[in-house]
Amino acid sequence: MLDLFLESFRIGEGTSRLLNHLVIVAMDPTTFFRCKSVHPHCFYLTTPGVDFSKDKRFMSEDYLKLMWRRIDFLRVVLELGYNFVFTDADIMWLRDPFPHFDSMDEIYIACDIYQGNSSDKRNMANGGFNYVKSVRATIEFYKYWYMARLLHDKQHDQQVFEIIKREPIVAATGLRIRYLDTKYFGGFCQPSRDMNKVCTMHANCCVGIEKKVPDLKSILNDWKNFTALSPQEKEAKGSSTAYPWSAPNKCRATMITFNF
């Protein structure tokens, strides 16, 4: 998966320059050494008393610890004064996303299901991709988000986000959240249908790395075929009503939500 993730940056439009700004966070020694062999910027994030060296199945106890560890880590990044884009490794970067982060909002977050309005709280957020500005409101939000895990036992960070985003205490901070349109930030839950506009494709709503990897390979193959087209062919493909991706295939049997 790491190889596919890095390859997407190399073949995407305007994304190869971002590799020097990419820090890969490893959660166990094996992954850290593997990262160092293929990428110059790797960080080993330790978690006392937890072994993240093996695959953690969705919603297992160690899976939840992993999800909450990253929220606490990102809170520290914000407190250090850094804006960041967080991305899961099962997201293919096909275009530079930064032109879409151009408003006054403090948090931009991808969606499993997008309802058509970027400020609509009915959008189903996905914490696997987000751009966050380092300001007081976001720091306090990440602190509250992490604390809220104690109030919502055995739920992962994304489920808790969906709960607390509606709470008055969050609204009182003035925090502005923008939900990213799946036309540009798509995934297997709700794919982008226009390869002329897509920035990222996420293997979301799919359980199991053994299913995700073949489908992500298909996404990159589709992208390579698209970029080899003439400008006229690309324009025609973008305006077509045909589904542009050969994936999901392996993931199809385990899709949590499937919305074409």
Count of C-beta atoms within a 10 Å radius of residue 95 = 19
Q: Is the pLDDT of residue 148 over 50?
A: yes
Q: pLDDT (tens digit, 9 = 90+) per residue, 111-146?
A: 999 999 999 999 999 999 999 999 999 999 999 999
Domain residues of the chain, as ranges?
1-260
Is the pLDDT at 60 greater than 70, yes or no?
no
- How does the average pLDDT of the chain come out, rounded? 92
User: DSSP assignment of 118-135, as one string?
Assistant: TT-TTSEEEEEEEEE--S
Average pLDDT over residues 78-88: 98
Of all helices (H) and strands (E), which one includes residue 86?
strand 84-87
Q: How far apart are CA 123 and CA 217, in angstroms?
A: 28
Determine the pLDDT at residue 253: 78
pLDDT over threshold 70, residue 59? no
Our CA dihedral for 13, 14, 16, 18, rounded to 10 degrees, sits at -140
Q: Cα torsion for 152, 155, 161, 167, to the nearest 10°? A: -20
Residues 65-78 have a mean pLDDT of: 92
More confident residue, 76 or 64: 76
Task: Quickly count: other Cβ atoms within 10 Å of residue 20's Cβ.
Answer: 8
Is residue 179 within a helix (H) or strand (E), and if so which, with residue range? strand 177-179
Per-residue pLDDT at 117: 97
Give the torsion through C-alpha atoms of 221, 225, 231, 235, to 10 deg.
-70
> Is this prediction's pTM over 0.85?
yes
pLDDT at 46: 85
State in words which class domain 1-260 has.
Answer: alpha beta
Alpha-carbon span 82 to 32, nearest angstrom: 23
Helix (H) or strand (E) holding 30: helix 29-38
